[in-house]
Chains A and B, each alone.
Chain A
């Protein structure tokens, strides 16, 4: 692994921001790479989890936010589960995603932030998820109308997806939580 350190170091340290959001201290990492070896997407990404930690330790700046793994990590928690230093890598990834969205540094395949927004939007409206509404909004946002289009008639016919949202949730309660 070779890490190029450029002069783009930001004034506000990314390492500090990650620690504040996640509560995780990455200084104990031994670079044993158990996280990278267990990670299901290691083979698919350019930067494995162990390297994310090393880059954070070196405080190389916001270029970390462009790493593909941030939006390819499936939150399976194998990394945390096997880490001998008990570093909660999954929480670090969450923090990087939150910062990435805030700084608008996340232009990646699949547009996961858009999906997240619509998922939470349906929850804030109905109190529960509404799959069809969320899928339709996501498809409009990503212009991916035809992807899986052949699956929906079969799913609707089998009633494997609900046609209407649920109206049984306590909406007042959910509005209060989202307001905070």
Chain B
């Protein structure tokens, strides 16, 4: 199985742990990931705040690179995933936009590259059965809340990722890993996303509500699929405890890190030492089959 893998800028900085775990998991499952040479930023939120054409041209430039590779694209960062899907959608449905993007890139792109989230590749393309066979370790009843956030599921017409109000794809993954996937109401709430630096007050309010619900659901850890969510919920947890007088101690890990542990990969190789809230309790809960 071979894909063009778009890591996104955070993979080189604040989400190095996510990148490490994807690389390790892919190696273990024989998924070949090839990075498009010279890939560039998708523009994320600042681009769509600033200019509509720029916000489509930036992801389209990378989609064009992938089209030339003749492969499907796989993405993990929810923001990159969303912007790639938006670019394809706009180019496919709006001929005027397609023309403007082709002027900007100096080449026409038809919006035809298939885009998958890495979790979709695991569950749908590799499949539950093959994953079950590959798992050498189990989460052994660990209580996990899966947090999907905004950008994977919305807008549904564009991303077409699972159910927009009650997605279950990560839950199914946790279940086959032997974890207890808790049904909770904050799966697709917003953590404050791109306000990490500018409006930390908003991040604190929104992330506090998510952590509060996770605690009420008696979660032992939260699995995420977005680098911005991970940083907001993990790095800001101590600030929230201070400002809101709470005592949260919920490890926030990438779902790929849990998958890696169940494949018998060491926590160091999965970048788990980069978590701010210690994931020791998770590592200790994993047992060999």
Contact = CB atoms under 8 A, between A and B. Distances in A.
A111 to B, nearest CB: 7
A56 interface: no
A84 to B, nearest CB: 14
A27 interface: no
B136 to A, nearest CB: 28
A180 interface: yes
Contacts of A4: none
Contacts of B273: 158
B68 interface: no
Interface string A136-180: 001000000001100100110011111000101110011011101
B205 A44 contact: yes
B155 A120 contact: no
B199 A112 contact: yes
Contact of A180 (B46, B57, B192): B57
A32 interface: no
Contact of B154 (A76, A169, A170): A76
B88 interface: no
B287 to A, nearest CB: 27
Contacts of B202: 41, 44, 72, 74
B105 interface: yes
A98 B50 contact: yes
B213 interface: no
Interface stretch (B12-20, B125-133, B137-145): B12-20
B276 A170 contact: no
B40 interface: yes
Interface in B29-86: 37-41, 43-54, 57-58, 61
Given A119-B44, A147-B200, A160-B14, A128 B9 contact: yes
B244 interface: no
B248 interface: no
A117 B50 CA distance: 9
B193 interface: yes
A128 B151 CA distance: 20
A51 interface: no
A129 to B, nearest CB: 4
A80 B155 contact: yes
B41 A173 contact: no
B3 to A, nearest CB: 19
Interface of A: 21-23, 40-41, 44, 71-72, 74-78, 80-81, 88, 90, 94, 97-98, 101, 109-113, 115-117, 119-120, 123, 127-129, 131, 135, 138, 147-148, 151, 154-155, 158-162, 166, 168-170, 173-174, 176-178, 180
Interface of B: 9-10, 12-14, 16-17, 37-41, 43-54, 57-58, 61, 94, 103-106, 150-151, 153-156, 164, 188-190, 192-195, 197-200, 202, 205-206, 235, 273-274, 276
Minimum-distance CB pairs A-B, first 9: A170-B38, A76-B190, A116-B46, A162-B13, A77-B154, A110-B198, A76-B150, A119-B46, A129-B9
Given A110-B198, A162-B13, 19 more contacts: A40-B189, A40-B206, A81-B164, A90-B155, A94-B49, A101-B50, A112-B195, A116-B49, A116-B50, A120-B47, A123-B58, A127-B38, A129-B44, A131-B14, A138-B197, A148-B200, A162-B16, A166-B12, A180-B53
